[in-house]
Structure 1
Amino acid sequence: MLAVCSAVPALALAGWLLAGLPLLLLGWFRPLPMALLGGGTAVVLCWWGLRRLPETVDALASHTAAVIGIALGSGLFNGFLRAEQLFVRRDPATYAQYAIWLARHGSLPIPYGDFGGPDPALRFDSMGFYDFHGAIVPQFMPGPPMLDAVGYWLGGVPGLLLVPPVLGALAVLVFAGTVARLAGGRWAPLAALVFAVSMPIIYTSRTTFSEMPSLILLFGGMALLLDARHRLRAGHGALLVAGLAGLVFGLALLVRIDGLRDVLPVLAYAGLLIALRRISGPPPESPPPAAGGAARPEPARRFPDGRLGVPLLAGLALGGFCGFAACYLLARPYLEYLSGSLLPLLAICAVVVLVTVAGTALAPRITLRIAPRIAARTGSGRGPASPGRLGRAPRWLPGMPGSAAALVVLVVAGLAVRPWLQTVRRVAVTPEDLLTADFIQQVQRANHLPVDGTRLYYEHSLYWVIWYVGVPVVVLATLAAAVLVGRLARGRGLAWLLPLAIIGWTTATTLWRPAITPDHPFAARRLVPVVIPGLILLAVFGLRWLRDRLGRAGYGSRLAVAAGALLLVVPPVVTSIGTAFSPVERGEAAAVARMCAAIPRDASVLIVERVTGDRFTQLVRGQCGVPAARIRNPKGSSVALETDVRRLIDRVRATGRRPVLLAAEQPQLMRYGKATQVLRLRTHQDERSLAGPPDAVWSLAADVWMAIPVCHGRWREMSCLSG
């Protein structure tokens, strides 16, 4: 049951996304087509991936019940304390408004609406939404909104806001299932508990982020590939499940385009498997028959896992193609915005592809050259390697296991001392950089820190991890990684090769350059897809390794395991408790509903003030369902010029629609007509901490005033009546 429960979420999400993308590109992303095609594809993938599943997890019923209980508790807790981020201030609300548009319209891009034709004072872009080639394009990848739209179809805005807690609960299941496959079923409940109480997991399980579906796909892909290895030994379904694992990995790009970095090790691993497949068969020139005419038996393949390489690579290519196609066709402005970091990543990807292709092509020739030497020095002619081994390590590399283990420790130590050796800065050049620098300065003043807008605080990234999971997790994870790297260097523990490569590569690159605004808890989301779950997985394996060592030494291990479990659980609980019971931005759904009810159905909304335009342009357009645009503000002012406002009012009337003005304060609208307050909210928002873990929430105030312009003078009165 644990094996099935932990594989279903990834397969179901993959099926939904795989069917949803073409429907979205065709403009048919509607409830009925998605229920039939998306739901049907999800069921088919689950059937293919789970039928005749051999025993892959050694969990008892109590282990499975504990994991499911933790997942349910996590979902209920986060669902009850969920956030309501609908005002577009940061990424969650962008995802929410993106999902609402998809759920209500089923197509992209978003049209302008009729405002009487183009005008130099009109702006249709807003925070999180680009003006691109005559239409509006959302900022992010379409994967998360396609998932969140299900909640809107089922329950409107309240249903949409419940999708993140559900995804968070599914992530607990998927992660625990991966732990059970790699470390053992008895360790899955402990890992699930540490994972569920970690503050970044709570944070991203309460609002519409992309990290939870990304985590489900990445760790679900690991679990499916481990299942494929078991199926290979059992003799059925291995190649299909390996292909599904590759598809799940590849579709991570449809959720987050920087998921390309996370799946790069999968590409290299698939190439390695193909190379092993090519060199694992009998030699090109078989020896002659023995005396007496009896033919010698054909040697068994030394590396049976090599058969998984081609389907894994094919599935990865299909999923990756979907991600790149969606990015180019539906999020091209976002692609251009990320070009500074995406182009180097694509260059690294190209290098990995070239090395993989070259290694795969030359593997047999290299093997023919070095195999006799290795066999002579290691005695490898004693028989084929066991399925879990790559073969004995060459004796001409006697220090390789120890050197590899030492390298792991040195990398972690380097990250630990980095704040004393480096201060990461970025000089603002682009308009986006200038906005980020100004934001960092505001947060520094609020945190009573020296004001320096060039600071990024990335040198403290390892300490971010320590804030959220504690020193024991980091120490045990480092120990486990060193042990596992040493085993792999000896040719043992092949099951850990890909998980350890993904965790190690992504953790190192993420901590070196988080590439996110460094205020917390917002920056903590960067640790969610791989870093925190990966370190927790390694930490529980490290605890298991210590228990085994104590047992072999003749010491009792039960007390040590209990103490270790407490050391893993208590630090994240202590950090999380400061904000875990404080929901943020509550009341936004009700406030928006009242505002939308006050706006006439035949309105075209003109927003005359900058902050209101940033936060509410797409909300009014998508959630209220009426055309909305901003009026440009002159440099140095947050309010539009009266001449521009009056001209656009007349142009809207000429279209037969009613002009409605919105602003943040009553005086900004009084010259155009009677202003009434249509939104007033006093609530809480996330803290913005730069120097420590968040332990409180900040206040948040939002006000929107509305005016329906009146006509003055005989000519204007006739114009209004004719309009």
Structure 2
Amino acid sequence: MDGTWLDHSRWPSAGRVLAAVSIMPALALAGWLLAGLPLLLLGWFRPLPMLLFGGALAVALCVYGARLEREDDAADATVWHVAATCGIAAASAVFNGIFHSEQLVIRRDPATYAQYAVWLADHGSLPIPYGTAAFGGPDPALVPSSVGVYDYGGAIVPQFMPGAPIVQAIGHWLGGVSGLLLVPPVLGGLAVLTVAGVVARLVGARWAPLAALAFAVALPVLYTSRTTFSEIPSLILIFGGIALALDTRARPRAAALAGLVFGLAVLVRIDGLRDVLPVLAYAGLLIALRRRQGRGERYARMGLPLLGGLAVGVGLGFLAAYSLARPYLSYLSDSVLPLLAICAVVLAATVAGAVLGPRIIPAGWKAMRGGRAARWLPGLAAGLVVLVTLGLAARPWVQTVHRVAKAEGDVLNAKFIVMTQLANGLPPDPSRLYYENSLYWVIWYVGVPVVVLATLAAAVLARRMALGRGFVWLLPLAIIGWTTVTTLWRPAITPDHPFASRRLVPVIVPGLILLAVWGLRWMWARARQAGYGPRVQRSLLAAGGALVLLPAVVTSIGTAFSPIERGESAQVAKLCEALPRDASVLIVERVTGERFTQVVRGMCRLPVAQVRPSGEAGAAAGANADINLAAPADVTRLAGRIRSAGRSPVVLAAQQAQLAPYGPATQVVKLRTRQDERSLVDPPNGTWSLTIDVWMAVPPTS
């Protein structure tokens, strides 16, 4: 042995290690998604093909990305900084794994994502077949759709984009339902690492642990790291794209990888199209700069590769949306169509800027530097940042946001808001959306100091860029600023909390923490320049760190140790065990049908449909009739058709009495657990009780 293995000079620096590990979550997700979507479209989304193609692509991208990192990336990092950051990320994953939720019964979006992932893991293809042969053929009383799945074109199509379920299916392959439920905590830990990596690049590695901890303890992050949402994977891709864009300045062709990672955010969330829109404009600006300045300019050469990668990623998202999520996009048309129009305008402006920029930019820059604009533009840029924040803060005093429900989904949402208002002790108003309070949502979760520091940082950085300095911040600040303002102006979500807090996760919470930590560093640097001694500097850092961390901890502590919807996995297993293997399941009560239709189809692997509620029959039966129940005549007819098809009819409902016309009933689900609080005007600080019952009957042979 020559002892060279002991030569520490051969080891990568701590800064390079931190830079490399913090981009690997995004690269691994990108590789998996790049393989997953084509295999899903081909109907081959199975463990072996995904291991061979998705696993290989993920490893290849991670290896390539690690080679991109240079010794000067996060150059001020020490082993302690790397260990602390990775330790916080790991602790986040473990903590959220311990308190993970079990949202499998479809009441809100997490269970829809979970059932989507279960179906993909078990069947590897879409759409979901009706299976009407198991009911004796089509019948107008059969309703195969339910909450989370649409009846579309003769088949059943899941709600949402497929990116998150493609990732979440890994857990089901590895550990069944238990493995699926542990994927979100793992992704949450990786998100902590990704955000810390961006902080290390833009603020400094010594600030990465503080940012990682502030991000990890924020309630929206805890909430979305414990159950199957799409926001955390989207965050990993967006902030991973920022990190890659910063790293590829010295290797412009590799910027295509950053663009690809950005674009794949659309495959995870359709809102990702809005979040990455600044990347399109940024790429156009770089192309314009390149045409003027030549191939030597390190930023400008990134433009074409960045744009190309973005086009591929967004194109895959559009392909998935068209092929697998058209009913979902139709439902969101009021939001999606304006977004597409904005994208078209930005695309046209980008093309025009790339073509005309070489002539316009130099002349404009020369005129600005030699005229009055050079004096007032920096102050205007900084002042605009402050005015936007003040405007959002004053919004509740000048505006109350309403929406008159027209579509069926909006009507149901309005009824939900009224019930939530009554539970909160508020006057009922089905049109209220509470969007005017959106900045205060942010303040609940990260605190006033973070919002103030972030505003200060954004103002200082905007001023610097107006002076022609700090170009490295242009893309991150554009993404954070654009997404924060547009999301807070129109969150486009049911406004109860903590559910609505998910809107803040992909960009707003991590972006404001990034800016706040930079603002804290800026204040510390000013104190040093002013001649204050080490004791004052340390006191400033300690006080600043406490102000960044404590407000988030105070809000989160109310629910951080309270898992929700525990017991659903066991109860669903009990339901599936109780159902005969040759059963065709009829659900005759509306709420049970909305909650359990896809659960029975996906997890019990049995044909199932709701029986259409008969409002007319209920009205004819008397004032006390339940119009959410199916007409017994329809159920009896369908039971006979099922027997004719050689299967056993089984009827499900929420109460024993609802099954009285169909024979003796047995309770197959008895869930007593806790659910999210639904708070409209205050931060959530607890949980509510949740009771779910399901009864089963087997209609006798007539």
Normalized against structure 2, the TM-score is what? 0.94
1:669 is matched with 659
1:4 deviates by 1.1
Q: Which moved more, 1:362-371 or 1:549-558?
A: 362-371
Q: Does 1:36 align with 2:13?
A: no
Contact 2:217 2:556 in 1 (8 A): yes
Q: Does 1:591 align with 2:571?
A: yes
Contact 2:103 2:110 in 1 (8 A): yes
CA distance in 2 between partners of 1:239 and 1:39 (Å): 26
1:397 deviates by 2.9
Q: Does 1:366 align with 2:386?
A: no
Q: Deviations over 1:516-574 (max 9, x none)?
A: 00000000000000001000000000000000111101113111011000011000000
CA distance in 2 between partners of 1:589 and 1:567 (Å): 40
Q: Deviations over 1:340-364 (max 9, x none)?
A: 1111111110010111101110122
Amino acid at match of 1:653: R
1:309 is matched with 303
Amino acid at match of 1:352: V
Unaligned segments of structure 1, at least 5 residues: 233-237, 282-299, 379-393, 713-723
Contact 1:89 1:127 in 2 (8 A): yes
Q: Does 1:205 align with 2:225?
A: yes
Among 395, 409, 412, the alignment partner of 2:386 is 409
Superposed, 1:523-562 pairs within 5 Å as: 523-555=500-532, 556-562=536-542
Contact 1:48 1:240 in 2 (8 A): no
Q: Does 1:339 align with 2:333?
A: yes
Aligned pair in 2 of structure 1 residues 710, 501: CA closer, same or farther (>3 Å)? same
Among 587, 591, 594, the alignment partner of 1:611 is 591
1:506 is matched with 483
Amino acid at match of 1:129: V
Aligned pair in 2 of structure 1 residues 429, 524: CA closer, same or farther (>3 Å)? same
Amino acid at match of 1:528: V
What secondary structure sits across from 1:270 in the alignment?
helix
Superposed, 1:121-140 pairs within 5 Å as: 121-140=141-160
Q: Does 1:467 align with 2:444?
A: yes
Largest Rg, 1 or 2: 1
CA distance in 2 between partners of 1:447 and 1:162 (Å): 32
CA distance in 1 between partners of 2:361 and 2:319 (Å): 38
1:89 is matched with 107
Amino acid at match of 2:345: V
2:648 is matched with 658
Q: Deviations over 1:319-369 (max 9, x none)?
A: 000000001100100010111111111111001011110111012232565
1:258 is matched with 271
CA distance in 1 between partners of 2:569 and 2:28 (Å): 29
What secondary structure sits across from 1:397 in the alignment?
helix
CA distance in 1 between partners of 2:222 and 2:362 (Å): 53
Amino acid at match of 1:323: G
Amino acid at match of 1:45: L
What secondary structure sits across from 1:706 in the alignment?
strand
What secondary structure sits across from 2:281 in the alignment?
helix
CA distance in 2 between partners of 1:102 and 1:239 (Å): 37
Contact 2:290 2:300 in 1 (8 A): yes
What secondary structure sits across from 1:500 in the alignment?
helix
Q: Which moved more, 1:219-228 or 1:654-663?
A: 654-663
Amino acid at match of 2:406: V
Q: Deviations over 1:291-321 (max 9, x none)?
A: xxxxxxxxx94x3211000000000000000
1:53 deviates by 2.1
What secondary structure sits across from 1:465 in the alignment?
helix
Amino acid at match of 1:596: C
2:434 is matched with 457
Q: Does 1:226 align with 2:216?
A: no
Contact 1:49 1:240 in 2 (8 A): no
1:215 deviates by 0.3
CA distance in 2 between partners of 1:424 and 1:489 (Å): 34
Q: Deviations over 1:680-706 (max 9, x none)?
A: 010000000001000010000011111
CA distance in 2 between partners of 1:470 and 1:633 (Å): 48
1:395 deviates by 5.7
CA distance in 1 between partners of 2:68 and 2:50 (Å): 28
CA distance in 2 between partners of 1:366 and 1:414 (Å): 33
2:14 is matched with none
Contact 1:246 1:319 in 2 (8 A): yes
CA distance in 2 between partners of 1:366 and 1:31 (Å): 53
CA distance in 2 between partners of 1:176 and 1:143 (Å): 24
1:386 is matched with none
Contact 1:48 1:241 in 2 (8 A): no
Contact 1:217 1:251 in 2 (8 A): yes
1:718 is matched with none
1:354 is matched with 348
Q: Deviations over 1:195-250 (max 9, x none)?
A: 00000000000000000000000000000011102xx1xxxxx1342111000000
Among 260, 278, 285, the alignment partner of 1:247 is 260
Superposed, 1:119-198 pairs within 5 Å as: 119-198=139-218
Amino acid at match of 1:676: T
Amino acid at match of 1:589: S
CA distance in 1 between partners of 2:377 and 2:574 (Å): 67
Amino acid at match of 2:688: W
What secondary structure sits across from 1:669 in the alignment?
helix
Q: Deviations over 1:437-469 (max 9, x none)?
A: 100000000000011010000000000000000
Q: Give the 4+ runs in structure 1 shifted more than 2 A.
A: 364-374, 394-397
Q: Does 1:579 align with 2:579?
A: no
Aligned pair in 2 of structure 1 residues 400, 368: CA closer, same or farther (>3 Å)? closer
1:606 deviates by 0.6
CA distance in 1 between partners of 2:69 and 2:365 (Å): 36
1:649 is matched with 639
Unaligned segments of structure 2, at least 5 residues: 1-16, 616-625
1:178 deviates by 0.4
Q: Does 1:706 align with 2:683?
A: no
Give the root-mean-square deviation of aligned CA atoms. 1.2
What secondary structure sits across from 1:624 in the alignment?
coil
1:372 deviates by 6.7
Percent identity over the alignment? 67
Aligned pair in 2 of structure 1 residues 373, 546: CA closer, same or farther (>3 Å)? closer
Amino acid at match of 2:422: R
CA distance in 2 between partners of 1:479 and 1:241 (Å): 33
Amino acid at match of 2:573: A
Q: Does 1:424 align with 2:404?
A: no
1:24 is matched with 40
Amino acid at match of 2:374: L
Amino acid at match of 1:320: V
What secondary structure sits across from 1:399 in the alignment?
helix
CA distance in 2 between partners of 1:499 and 1:65 (Å): 26
Aligned pair count reads 669
Aligned pair in 2 of structure 1 residues 240, 632: CA closer, same or farther (>3 Å)? same
CA distance in 2 between partners of 1:363 and 1:692 (Å): 48
Amino acid at match of 1:522: F
Q: Does 1:322 align with 2:316?
A: yes
What secondary structure sits across from 2:22 in the alignment?
helix
Q: Does 1:77 align with 2:57?
A: no
Amino acid at match of 1:119: D
What secondary structure sits across from 1:96 in the alignment?
helix
CA distance in 1 between partners of 2:221 and 2:107 (Å): 21
Amino acid at match of 1:272: L
Amino acid at match of 1:16: W
